[in-house]
Amino acid sequence: MTHGYYESKPELIKRLNKAAGQIGGIGKMIEDDRYCIDILTQISAVRSALDKVALELVSDHTKHCMTETDADKKDMKAEELTAAIARLIK
């Protein structure tokens, strides 16, 4: 079974690795007693990077998992996606 993100997997991994590096950089900034606003700016950048990953996964799920499911499972898939989006925007 392939997941909806199969084709975008390399890009998703690249984005996640970049975010992981940014998180490490934030830790170093704190260790180095950097200016608070600069640290907050980097936190915002990490959030943005993770949001892009999440949106790509939502898009891939919609294109793949929701369109390739049985008609009787579409409501369940829609509820599942809605719940996942709700968790993201909390």
Report the CATH number that the domain containing residue 28 is assigned in CATH: 1.20.58.1000
pLDDT at 6 (0 to 100): 82
Does residue 30 lie in a domain region? yes
Does residue 4 lie in a domain region? no
Per-residue model confidence as pLDDT tens for the chain (90 residues) = 678 788 889 999 999 999 999 999 999 999 999 999 999 999 999 999 999 999 999 998 888 877 777 888 888 888 999 999 999 998
What spatial distance separates the first Cα and last Cα of the chain, rounded to whole Å? 31
Which amino acid is present at 39?
Answer: I
Count of structural domains within the chain: 1
pLDDT at 51 (0 to 100): 94
pLDDT at 1 (0 to 100): 64
Does residue 60 lie in a domain region? yes
Residue 54 sits in which domain range? Answer: 9-89
Does residue 76 lie in a domain region? yes
Tell me the DSSP string of 47-65.
HHHHHHHHHHHHHHHHHHT
For 1, which DSSP code? -
pLDDT at 38 (0 to 100): 98
